[in-house]
Structure formats: structure tokens, C-alpha cells
Structure 1
């Protein structure tokens, strides 16, 4: 991206932020009340190295790659003094737009739309001017130049035009003025289609970002002191769910459904975390068939695993499911190359019983499948939120 274009975007961002902040502050003064949300607008310039695959084509692409990106975020920080806002020190949730160039003929110039959460640390420095937080973003990226056996045989990272977007990391912010912060971050960024279309080894970066964050309106937040929060009443969860996802086993091959059936037992002793053990069963009617081998029996189509399971609870009805599974019966021909796997995603509860969500199951940094889930929980919650 040319330097003059980046400069123009930065100037427009500063003027736009200043006008919005001025209008919002004047409105707040007239209204004389605390707004429901404090709004933030951020613009970040990003660069950083790719984590190369240990292959000749991975090194070839990495050696000719020059990654640069712009990230625009609109965040909303809820001012309501409810339990989870106070526990997480009034986090910011919002949406972002991302555009990147690799200056590379094989990968493309991807864009992305995503949702993010930014959670501040308790401790601040320099009289509150220096603050730290951690963040996670999930979304959809598009405009990749995917693998093609004729026109783009080099790109064995990405086989599809659209891919999942994941970005996690840490931020540091320094207040330049009451309405403008210098914003810097580092973390891990991942692009993958969840093996819906091969090849799909995925793209991974260690991005470093720097930019400006503008506070668009005044707001006040009650003290996040937790001394008056009731002690959590421990409870036990039994969760049952089914999942389904699309799976492509071979380049140019057909796409099949892969099913999952899962159960876990989780113990929750605090407001933030549930942890325990579970069982997974995966059913794949089709797979990579070597020679004349066919899947005649049930065990030829099925895998079983024991899973160390958890849920990171961000709100009463919203959590991040986590898991590390170890196969007790595995089929390599179902594209399960290692004896273990990882899982991370998002989960929303319609009630204490019903939930839905999406998770990414992967072996190392290689995605296996995006799991669309629906499930049922058995537990009694005596806590008040």
C-alpha cells in the first residue's frame, strides 16, 4: 500500500475522529447523562513475519512476501455496572474492517470483516495514561487468490477465495490527549477455510500493529472493585451437542459432511471458567481411500477421543469453548494426521439449557473442520447476575 495513501487515510481518520468526538461530547453535555456505550474508533497499521511451513514452496512464498495491512475498528464499551462488566473491567466489543497486501502474486490482497472483544488489565501505569489489554477477533476474510493447478499451482496455503479470520493478541495504549491514544499491539493471525476446500495448510502471521485510538464520547464507569460481589455458588454442567461441517479430503475432490457427537462434564467454581472432561465421536462416511480400500464397517468411518474441556465465560450467555483432545480410536484416512487435536470457538446460550456456536478443530496449525454446533445443557444455576 503506497505511503501517500496511508497518509491520506490517517489524516481523514484524525479529522473524522475529532468531529465525532466534538459532536458526541457536546451532545453528552447537553443531555447531562451517562451514555449506554462509550464509543471508540481505531486505525492501525500492521506488519510482521509469516510463520513459514517447513516446505520448499512455503519458503519460496515467504521469501518474496512483504505483508502490510490496515485495520479499522469501531468499539462499544458498555457503561452499565453489571456483574460481568465489573469482573472484566468494562470490556470493549465491536466490529472491524481489515485490508492487506502481501506484495505477492500467489496469495492475493485479502479483506476481512470481523467482530472483536478487547479486555483491559486491572493495573495501569503513569497515572492511568498507560494501559494494557488482551483481545480476540473472529470473522470472514475474502479476496484471496486461491490455489489453481494451472494458473496458481504455487499457493498450497489457501484453496478458497473466502476464509476464516482469527486474530488474538495483546495491546498497549498511551493517552496522548483525553480523547486520543497511541495504540500498539502484537499477536497471532490465522487464515483458514477449515478444510472445506484443499489445499488448506493455512496462513499464519505474527503481526505487529501501531496506530491511533480515538474516544468519541465522554462516559463514566463505576469502580470495578469486586469486594461486594457475592461468592460464586459452584455448579456442575453436563453438556450434550452435535456438530456438522463440510470437509474436502483431496485437491479437486468432492466435499462431504463430517459429523460430530459430543458430551462433557464441566465444573464451575467461579464466574469466569468451567473445566472438566469430555468425549468426542466423529463420523465421516467418506475420506481418503487408498487403493481399493473401502469403508465397510462402522469403525472404519468413526473416530473417538477423550477431551480436556473448558469454557471461558465472558458473559452469562456467551463463552469461548476450548479443548485438547486425544484420540483413543483414530482413522488417518479421515484426515486426522496426529494423535491429538485442539478446539476453540464461540458459544451462545439462548437459555441455561439450549446453546449454539461454531468451533474450529485443528491438528497443530492445520485446520480439520469448522464445527457448527447445537446442544443442550443439564445444570442448575443458583447464582444471581
Structure 2
């Protein structure tokens, strides 16, 4: 029987922060994939190489980790006072689905440079040298992100001396501002970014027991627990967690219980199709350790340690959206994150993660007993890895 030729679709492969993914302009996608639905999902899964029962993504662009199985769609913004709309898809590795429930903070960094290089900003906006602010509408969660992109000789500056723990080589620094990053999804809308209205909940987890948790919708829905409640100390690296099936099962049970309490799912079974959110993280007071690269991290270098799960595995560094959640929760006295950092009020926090440290800030305020966050700020970097066309069989 005849076989159809592969599709040839313009695409750019980019690193953003500690993640990388395949970037598309909406208008370059085949017409059926230009709108949400099965055709779009099938195309992106084939681009990445999912589902892959071997867990390798050998026949696709994915890297078989939660940090490298990502797709981004960018288009001229439909929102006033914004430059582009940005849609993010987290592609499952061994299952046939794309999770659209949240944002990727790391790849948000690359959206600014991609928008400029794609011609989405007027030439008059681009200085000969300096910085241009790309105003991004994050369509998954309905939030604004300001991406401050360095410009040199009228072009996006990608090289530089900014080092980001979790990335092997230096690049140009890009500052991200997440505006009004809290979300009311799930719980009581009047409760704000804490969906249960509590800074600390007692979470009953079948098969695990009852433990304290801070549940927050800021950056990305996140369930924070104390490392000590898990028998951990917050200095764990990937092998200690990802090679421990019993621990992984306990952690997933806690994530599911948190998702139920936050109102993000109605039954435990729904969690299987919502792997991207919520995130689960554990916090601990500062303690020295050796990062995955071998770099020593002293307790005096950090305010607390944080480890976070992504798509069922311990993340090799820290997700950008989870970093927003960490900064926001750390700024609110009484949360488990704030307690681990030593308590009190703080606008900036530096935390340890498996690859090193990260400094992130958040501005919070309490109005009529309700905590809100106005912005979170962090520095990342991004660069183009490859550009041209991605080829996939017809789907």
C-alpha cells in the first residue's frame, strides 16, 4: 500500500532555563493543529516521540524527562497590551496525552527571544543595544509574564556570562516577571492563592497517614510538605528518590491527596491524566550538601532546601513555576516554606535544589485577611539550539 511522505513543519528547538522544548509559530502548524483538540495533541506527541513504552524518545525530539518533553505554541496576542500569546504543552512520556493544565516557567524565558526572532514585535521596539520587554499572555493559566530580553547590535543577545545552576554553560541573563501569579483554580475563589483558606492544612493521605501541608496556587498549584514528615532531609538528589519505587508511590499518594483537597480533581483516578499539576515539593531548613554537578552547597549559602517532583520523578533542578510558588509561600509568615526558611517576612529567598541554588523574589500583601501576590521575579537564560523544520509522519 502507498505510504504518505512526512510532514515538514517550521520549528525551533530552544533551551529556556533548565528545560528545553520544540517551539512553533501557530500559523506554521497544519490547519487541524492550529486549534485545540485531538489533532493538535497527536501532532505534538509525534513530534516529541510519545507515547514511548521504552521511555527513551528515540523516534522524536523529546528527551524522555519532564524537563525535555515539552512543546510551545506562540502567536500574535489576542489580548490588549500584550505582544504574544504563549501556550505550553507538557507531553507525557509513556502515555498518550498532552497536559495543558499549567505553565512552564523555564520555557517562559525562551518565549521572549522566540517572539522577537519570529518578527512578532515591531522593528521600532528593538533597540540597537539594551533591553526590550516582551509582554506575554500565558494562555494556559491566563496570566501576564514580562520577559526582559537583552539586545546587542539589534539582535537578541544569547551569549553571556550568566551561570544558572542546572545548565552547564553560561549565557545572557534574562529577567522574568510573573504578574499576579496566583490562581483561584479549584478551591474557594474567595480564599485567594491558598485554595482552602489555610496556610497549613492537615492532609489525610491513604496508606501514608496525616501530615501538614501548605497548598498554594501561585505560579503553579503546589503541595508543600516538610521533608522530616517523609523521613527525608531536603538534600536528596535524583537517584535517592527516583530509584526508590516505594518512596515514589508515597509521594504520588500525597500529590493526589493534595490535588483533591485543592479541588483540582474530583476523584483519585483523575490524577493519572493530570500529571503536570499540582506539583509536590518538600522543604527543610538549610543544610549543606553536594549538588549533582559535585558543587558544594553550604548551609550559609541558602535560606532553605527544596526538592520538587515533576511528572512522577524528582526534578533535576527546580521548575520555574514552582520557584514562583516557593518565593510566594516563603513570603507569607506561617506557611511551611516560610517556617523552613526561618520565619518572618521576606521579599527574596535563596533555596537549594539538586543542581545548586536559585534566588527568587515575590511581593505579597494581605488585604481583608486574604493573601495575594502581585509579582514574582527571577533570572534565567535561553538560547536557540536548532532551527529549521521538524519532520513527522502524518498523524
Q: TM-score, normalised by structure 1?
A: 0.30
Q: Give the structure-2-normalised TM-score.
A: 0.30
Q: Which has the higher contact order (CA 8 A, sep 6+)?
A: 2
Higher strand share: 1
Q: Which has the larger radius of gyration?
A: 1
